[in-house]
Structure 1
Amino acid sequence: MSTTLSPNDLHPTASTLMTRGEVRYRRTNIALFLAGFATFSLLYCVQPLLPVFSQAFHVAPASSALSLSLATGALAISILCAAALSERAGRRELMFASMCASAVLNMAAALAPNWSTMLALRTLEGFVLGGVPAVAMTYLSEEVNPKQLGHAMGLYVSGTALGGMLGRVGTGILTEYMSWRPALAVMGACGLAASIAFVTLLPPSRNFTRRVGLGARHHFAAWGTHLRNPALPFIYMIGFTVMGAFVTVFNYAGYRLIEPPYNLNQTALGLIFSVYVFGVMSSSIAGGLADRIGRRAVLPVGIGSLIVGVGLTLFAPLWLVFLGITFVTMGFFTAHAVASGWVGQFARVDRGHATSLYLLSYYMGSSLCGSVGGWCWSAGGWPGVAAFVLGLLAIGLVCAARLARLGR
């Protein structure tokens, strides 16, 4: 079997790599910022609607959370397929097709006549969305000078943070005044507009060539190589734990805050997600700090912030709950920006496969932990949710300590 080696398996020349100050570097950052924005606004726009779905479709909180968990689970699986497909179809083309298809499916979900149809559409939407996260980080690791990769990755993660914030906040506010169906349709239209701007701005790859003749054996061998790497499995587990913790907090905070003594309405609940603006800032700052002082110094700070934030949410005053959610948001985006950027440093070949395994772990954390959190909520209320999340973060902190030793 013959294959054509991709330049990312060799060593791109300095002249083909983007550096800060170049026009194509700026265009790339804007385009991938939009990709992150569209992906996360579409994926998570249902999160503030979970209590609404419980009422509209007469389902329990854990069942309502399936509208998000099934989407993220399908996305996790599709990432493996998309990473392999991108070796033949191209990075830019696959991301654009994924963004367009997911936007259309989000608009279709607004018309869902029953809960089964809603779950089917959301699952399919999550599956087609896999083409963006599976490829975006690989594109950056191939095209950007390693000295500026932390900064570029931080900006991409900032786009995901802003998308997650506006998707949640916008959906919550629109639902208060229009109902949830028009809210989902509007988010789909915004995603479609972002996809058009994305494909207009993103420069073609210079350090990628299409690879033909790659069978299943090649892909499984590449994934196996990365799983045997002494460092990468710890990075994957960090992605699983921090994403699982983050999604669980946001999934069930809404159920807590619509009950006494808070009694928040849908607009106020949506505005709680405005804390994502701190995620936008922290991910960009964390990426820059990782370039300057090292990832092993920054990563524990992110996980520690998550732990502090969860602890603060256990107190009753609303301002402390809000502060805790802010710390959770900052800590999550700090940890994710650092960990995701680290994958490309440890993976010397087949980086797309290494990235796909990180994202598989990341979104499986969202899907599995987000669902388990519903059982914790039903069994123990918010203290039960917090205990589950703190257990996840303890595992993440152990993995970060192990990575720090390997990094030396």
Structure 2
Amino acid sequence: MSDPAPSATGSPAPIEAGTPAFRRANLAMFLGGFTTFALLYATQPVLPRLAADFGVAPTTASLSVSLGTAALALMLLPASVLSDRYGRQRLMKTSLALATVIAFATAVAADFSQLLVLRMLMGAVLAGLPASAMAWLGEEIAPSAQGRAMGLYIAGNALGGMSGRFLVAGLTDWSSWRIAAAALGVLGLVATLVFWRCLPPSHHFRARAALPARVLGDIAALLADSGLRRLFAVAFLMMGAFTSLYNYLGFRLHAAPFSLGQTAIGAVFLLYMVGTLSSAWTGRLVDRIGRRALLWIMIVVCGAGLAIALVDHLAAIVAGVAVFTFGYFGAHTTASGWVGRRSGERRALATALYLCSYYLGASLIGTLSGLAWEFAAWPGVTAALILCAALALLCAWQLRRLLPIGQPPAVTPAG
């Protein structure tokens, strides 16, 4: 039996762990996250090559990443409104199909300006999937299995980011970044077809009117929650630090004394496998010990990774980046699931605000940290990212005392 059994009231029951529908949902959402990150960050491992080919500075080359994430961030709120109005499934499927077409167009970009326009369009159309995915999981998956499902979805993000970057770096060394972009389009096409085929139908979606007054009222209500504001801040700071680390890691490893080629630099992105494992493991751990006890620990792990990567030795750099990646994906899994649980019926809009913060951090901090690179190279980038992690840790520490929704202030919150 592939679909959820009906509940006692006659409405379909949420999808439980271990069922065929749960496995199909996990496969589809894993591939959706995989494709999103693979396409969105395709140019990151070849930033030094783009800088050389188009004759631009490292900070300018990083715009091929930052403008895409900025466009995605700005489109998340409109996409969440469309998701509430027309359905999660329809928007996610359309987003993946359009993104695949743009991936092929990127391979024939005439100049750097055209490349940037296509990267912005890529980010804009991809917004439909993350704006809907977490809301879909919150609506269709049973509460007892949501942490696991969310962890697997984010694990798909990690594996897609790793595979896309490694594929692009390797093919660029072998041929050119244009061939690599076309190959990524093929990969996106396959993943999109499987997603369309496997995602179970929505049974618990209820359309909401896309009225500006209602949307603004919902945004105001969400931002009035101090817990959600802190979670949005964590997303902004940690995603900014994560993107910056990988943006300028390639420049560090391409320069002396390491002088690594594109394939070797791309191999460093295999460390995303650590993020895949961290997401899946953290998703299960959240269901057992709770988010309050986990979020701040994962951010501390990120800080430790930054400190290790500061050592000017290749093994230390790889180890530090691995530690940071483990902590980052653990923190993201914890915080994103927390937003969905805390926001109730506004979860699609809350998810959009969370991801808007997340990708704005990637865009703004990911670009501005390039100034730190140009001013003081890797120590300058590290100092900027440690500041981001410290501010995120402050937010996470305050979240330890966050009252559950509806609990009066006089009652001490459970651990």
Q: TM-score range by the shorter chain?
A: over 0.9
User: Aligned to 2:27, which of 14, 27, 30?
Assistant: 30
Equivalent residue in structure 2 for 1:321, among 312, 317, 324: 317
TM-score (norm 2): 0.94
What SS class does the counterpart of residue 295 from structure 1 fall into?
coil
Contact 2:158 2:276 in 1 (8 A): yes
Dislocated runs of 4+, deviation >3 Å: 12-15
Q: Which residue is 1:285 aligned to? A: 281
- Taking the aligned partners of 1:139 and 1:121, their CA distance within structure 2 comes to 28
Q: Which residue of 1 aligns with 2:256?
A: 260
Aligned residue for 2:144? 147
Give 2:219's aligned residue: 223
Task: Tell me: CA distance 1:177–1:406, structure 2 relative to 1, closer, same or farther (3 Å).
Answer: same
Match of 1:370 among 366, 373, 394: 366
Amino acid at match of 1:61: P
Structure 1 gap segments, 5+ residues each: 1-11
Paired residue secondary structure (1:405) = coil
Residues of 2 paired with 1:41 and 1:342: CA distance? 25
Q: TM-score, normalised by structure 1?
A: 0.95
Query: Aligned in 2, Cα 1:13/1:323: closer, same or farther, shift over 3 Å?
Result: farther
Counterpart of 2:102 (choices 96, 100, 105) is 105
Shift of 1:15: 5.1
Equivalent of residue 36 in structure 2, options 27, 35, 39: 39
- 2:325 partner SS: helix
Q: Contact between 2:12 and 2:203, CA under 8 Å: does it hold in 1? A: no
1:51 touches 1:254 (CA, 8 Å); kept in 2? yes
Question: CA–CA distance in 1 between the matches of 2:104 and 2:328?
Answer: 29
Structure 1: how far apart are the matches of 2:122 and 2:17? 34
Tell me the secondary structure at the aligned position of residue 158 of structure 1: helix
Q: How does 1:193-212 map to 2 (within 5 A)?
A: 193-212=190-209
For residues 394 and 14 of structure 1, do their structure 2 counterparts lie closer, same or farther at Cα, with a shift above 3 Å needed?
Answer: farther
- Quote how far apart the aligned CAs of 1:120 are: 0.5
Q: 1:226-305, aligned counterparts within 5 Å?
A: 226-305=222-301
Tell me the distance in 2 between the aligned counterparts of 1:54 and 1:262: 19
Counterpart residue number, 2:348 = 352
Q: Distance in 2 between matches of 1:381 and 1:241?
A: 20
**1:399 matched to 2:388:** no
Query: 1:159, 1:173 → 2: CA distance?
Result: 21
Instruction: Quote the sequence identity (%).
Output: 43
Aligned counterpart, 2:337: 341
Trace 1:29-108 onto structure 2 (pairs within 5 A).
29-108=26-105
Cα-to-partner distance string for 1:291-332 (whole Å, 9 max, x where unaligned): 100111111121111101110111011000000010111111
1:149-207 residue CA offsets vs partner (Å, 9 max, x unmatched): 11110000000000000011111001110110000111011111111110100011111
**What residue number does 1:3 align with?**
none
Q: How far apart in 1 are the matches of 2:389 and 2:275?
A: 18
Is it true that 1:178 corresponds to 2:136 in the alignment? no
Is the 8 Å Cα contact of residues 14 and 145 (structure 1) preserved in structure 2?
no
Alignment correspondent of 1:388: 384
Do 1:141 and 1:344's aligned partners in 2 also have CA atoms closer than 8 Å?
yes
Structure 2 Cα separation of the partners of residues 230 and 261 of structure 1: 47
RMSD: 1.2
Range 347-356 or range 25-34, more displaced? 347-356
Aligned length: 396
For the residues of structure 2 that align with 1:88 and 1:347, how far apart are their CA atoms? 18
Amino acid at match of 2:101: V
Structure 2: state its 5+ residue gaps. 1-8, 404-412
